[in-house]
Structure 1
Amino acid sequence: MERETEAALAVGVVTSIVGFTSSFAVVVAGLQAVGASTAQAACGLAVLCVLQGAGSIWLSRRHRMPLTLAWSTPGAALLVSAAGLSIGWSAAIGAFLVTGALLALTGLWPWLGRTVAAIPPPLGQAMLAGVLVPLCLEPVTAMSVSPALVIPVVVVWLVLQRWAPRWAAPAAFALAVVLVVVSVLHSTGSIPLRVPTLELTAPTFDWAAMIGIAVPLYLVTMAAQNVPGVAVLGAAGYQVPWRESLLLTGFGTVAGAAAGTHAVNLAAITAALPASAQAHPDPAKRWIASAAGGGFYILLAPAVPSLTMLLAAAPPGVLESVAGLALLGTLAASLTSALTTVSDETGGRLPAVVTFLVAASGTTALGIGAAFWALLAGLLLRFVLRTPKAARHAAGRTTTGR
């Protein structure tokens, strides 16, 4: 095997390790927040690993480009914020099915993608930032609850942010697992191990779950995963097969929904590594890295139930702290985008700030979660504050477009 191919395989494995460990805790917390038991959350994660791994192998081999799939980390954070809805696991499954259907429909009907794109990006980013805030506060509050476990994790994360940022979240996760193992051994004398099992749940379709989970989950997955994923690969010189990618991830989400798959999508941040020269000097052969990463995700799937059981046995705040640390970078990027890409003609920063505050409040009304109301409040305020000049400009563009 040539040295370049070996390097591509290694990059693929590293990509999967970073993606898995940096957001594993977020997805566990998200699934459990909407009613999943430990076994159901483990099943959802294992199926996600298999689906995104198989999808990465299929797309990268078929198109000979580094197309990497992932689970929706921002979407999982959204699920954490929806805990107050108390809709039940079967209603969450129904929402996952609708999310997958919307992703697939976006691939079939471009008008749906254009409708999503019409939502002002600052408001979408502000909504995401607000959703992330409660989880990102967890490391702070947990230090007073479980200081012996949380403080070392925070210190390791901080040190690696200075010297090796890519490995900060994975190292924090690894240390948390080690500390939890020691804690569980000390208290029970054994490590909880679980054989992978398939836990299927029949969906129910609840209007509050559709509006409070399915629609925001779809919007966040499109805005924070699929669109940036296309941009990352575009910057590396690759044209993503948009329709096929959306159809594959949408139908994959639908296929895995009953097992707890909340959303499969294009990778965003981790997509950059397989698409770079580190994977292979020849751009036409970098697909090997994505295929290898997909294969490694499938190999990781059997270990998911034991990891989930272990983290479920951790003292309060540990799982949430690891998840919060992993999302701090996403929070910073979302806030920056929400507050620096606005125009005074459309109300300035105020609509984005209101969107952020409503989303961060966690308020529910009529059984619908804060993410939906946040976006609605931001759009309403933006409309009210929009200047006549901006309205005339938009009307002119519409007339010209006809």
Structure 2
Amino acid sequence: MPESTDPAPDATANALQPISAGIVAALVGFTSSFAVVLTGLRAVGASPAEAASGLLAICVTQAIGMLYLARRYRQPITLAWSTPGAALLAGTGAVAGGWPAAVGAFVVVGLLVVATGMWPRLGALITSIPTSLAQAMLAGVLLPLCLKPVTAFAASPAVIAPVVLVWLVLQRYSKRWAVPAAFGAATIVIGIDVIAGDRVPSASELIPRVDFTVPHWTWQAIIGIALPLYIVTMASQNIPGMAVMKSFGYDVPWRPAMSVTGIGTVIGAPLGGHTINLAAISAALAAAPTAHPDPRKRWIAASSAGWFYLLLALCSAAVATLVAVAPAGVVETVAGLALLGTLGASLAGALRDETGREAAIATFLIAASGIGIFGIGSAFWALVVGLVLRWVLAPRPIE
């Protein structure tokens, strides 16, 4: 009797393992935070169509970046949009010059990221910012968004309760899928409301399209959006992303990674994308042993995630339309729930250093206040005040 030529079950399973890991990484990354991205883009002046175009742009640019980096360096290098950056946009709001000025700020962020890869001193300058202050600034920006589930529940408990309940149950049994499941519940709530109100979107609204915006530069947008967004992206995404990859035994090439993400940000900005960067938390989904027993084959997971993000890009208009017709508070609730973990980590990082705790608390409070001075948002002023307080309160050596 001839031997079977079918591949061994274990070999087949191992071959499919990185592909499924990549699909999960892309699906979780997209569904858990796209609401934050759309909220942030709308807050700085994007129309629903421009926000949908921005979501499409960052899906495509990060997908192409992943496909290139993973195949070129044979490492599971995954990219993501900056969720903390999108939250910062939501807290910043409109700036002088409106949406075109925000787009100009996104271009500046991309150029700064490229410069960071090319000029080590710029990277050293960013890393010299105390982690506690950067985390405190991020926590302050996140706080208003994370309060949205509370205020939305108080206003419409019957609408918000199913979303929160589904999230809570999944938090108990499968944290990874808690936010995607909450979005699924929100989709059902939105669908019922749309049908009841006879506001069913037309087919043309579901077709993905790009909206080009000519960048405009104002000093308020550069200082109030570009600089905080750059700092948050580097401190909360790129640098931790490198550390996560290193923990799994991968040395990500710094200059190529910064060049790809920076150039991708510049290209995607006129289409509405805010920024792309190295994945941090979700990086483990492709780099961990669960993606493949052989570390040399885990790059397939990142490549698979890239291809799947191209498919998800086709959903950009549909999810943006869904967000646009949602009852008040539903999308904000999903976004707030998605950011709770990031808020907790940021607060822990901000308060870990006892010597600079007062400066970190002041930074947190100013960022959370949402104040604007000279047309510049609270995130910038929070960091400035925090740095000044840290310098003033620093213990001086006794001569």
Offset at 1:146? 2.8
Tell me the secondary structure at the aligned position of residue 277 of structure 2.
strand
1:349 correspondence with 2:361: no
Where structure 2 has 5 or more consecutive residues not aligned to the other structure, the ranges are 1-6
Report what 1:295 is aligned to.
Answer: 307
Tell me the secondary structure at the aligned position of residue 388 of structure 1.
coil
The structure 2 residue matched to 1:375, chosen from 383, 390, 394, is 383
User: Pairwise mapping of residues 115-264 of structure 1 onto structure 2 (< 5 A)?
Assistant: 115-188=125-198, 190-192=200-202, 193-264=205-276
User: 1:301-341, CA deviations, whole angstroms, 9 ceiling, x for partnerless residues?
Assistant: 1111011011110111111111000000000000001101x
1:281 correspondence with 2:289: no
What is the identity, as a one-letter code, of the residue corresponding to 2:271?
Answer: A
Identity %: 54
Offset at 1:219? 0.2
- Cα RMSD of the aligned pairs, angstroms, is 1.3
- Would the aligned equivalents of 1:11 and 1:289 in 2 still touch at CA under 8 Å? yes
User: Pairwise mapping of residues 72-111 of structure 1 onto structure 2 (< 5 A)?
Assistant: 72-83=82-93, 85=95, 87-111=97-121
User: 1:118-145, CA deviations, whole angstroms, 9 ceiling, x for partnerless residues?
Assistant: 1000000000000000000000000123
Report what 1:322 is aligned to.
Answer: 334
1:17 correspondence with 2:27: yes
- Would the aligned equivalents of 1:34 and 1:86 in 2 still touch at CA under 8 Å? no
- Would the aligned equivalents of 2:18 and 2:300 in 1 still touch at CA under 8 Å? yes
Q: Give the whole-Å Cα distance in 2 for the aligned partners of 1:303 and 1:128.
A: 29
- Would the aligned equivalents of 2:96 and 2:221 in 1 still touch at CA under 8 Å? no
Q: Give the whole-Å Cα distance in 2 for the aligned partners of 1:189 and 1:223.
A: 42
* TM-score of the superposed pair, with normalisation by structure 1: 0.94
1:309 correspondence with 2:317: no
* TM-score of the superposed pair, with normalisation by structure 2: 0.95
Offset at 1:86? 5.7
Q: Give the whole-Å Cα distance in 1 for the aligned partners of 2:258 and 2:140.
A: 26
Tell me the secondary structure at the aligned position of residue 80 of structure 2.
strand
Offset at 1:84? 5.2
Report what 1:339 is aligned to.
Answer: 351
- Would the aligned equivalents of 1:181 and 1:191 in 2 still touch at CA under 8 Å? no
User: 1:379-398, CA deviations, whole angstroms, 9 ceiling, x for partnerless residues?
Assistant: 000111011139x9xxxxxx
Tell me the secondary structure at the aligned position of residue 367 of structure 2.
helix
What is the identity, as a one-letter code, of the residue corresponding to 2:173?
Answer: W
Aligned residues: 387
- Would the aligned equivalents of 2:238 and 2:279 in 1 still touch at CA under 8 Å? yes
The 4+ residue runs of structure 1 with deviation greater than 6 A are none
Q: Give the whole-Å Cα distance in 1 for the aligned partners of 2:62 and 2:73.
A: 16
- Would the aligned equivalents of 1:5 and 1:288 in 2 still touch at CA under 8 Å? no
Change (3 A) 1:87 1:327: farther
User: 1:208-246, CA deviations, whole angstroms, 9 ceiling, x for partnerless residues?
Assistant: 000000000000000000011111110000001111000
Change (3 A) 1:189 1:343: closer
The structure 2 residue matched to 1:268, chosen from 250, 255, 280, is 280
- Would the aligned equivalents of 1:108 and 1:243 in 2 still touch at CA under 8 Å? yes
Where structure 1 has 5 or more consecutive residues not aligned to the other structure, the ranges are 393-402
User: 1:34-88, CA deviations, whole angstroms, 9 ceiling, x for partnerless residues?
Assistant: 0000000000001111111111111011111100000000000000011154641
- Would the aligned equivalents of 2:201 and 2:321 in 1 still touch at CA under 8 Å? no
Tell me the secondary structure at the aligned position of residue 70 of structure 1.
strand
Deviates more, 1:297-306 or 1:145-154: 145-154
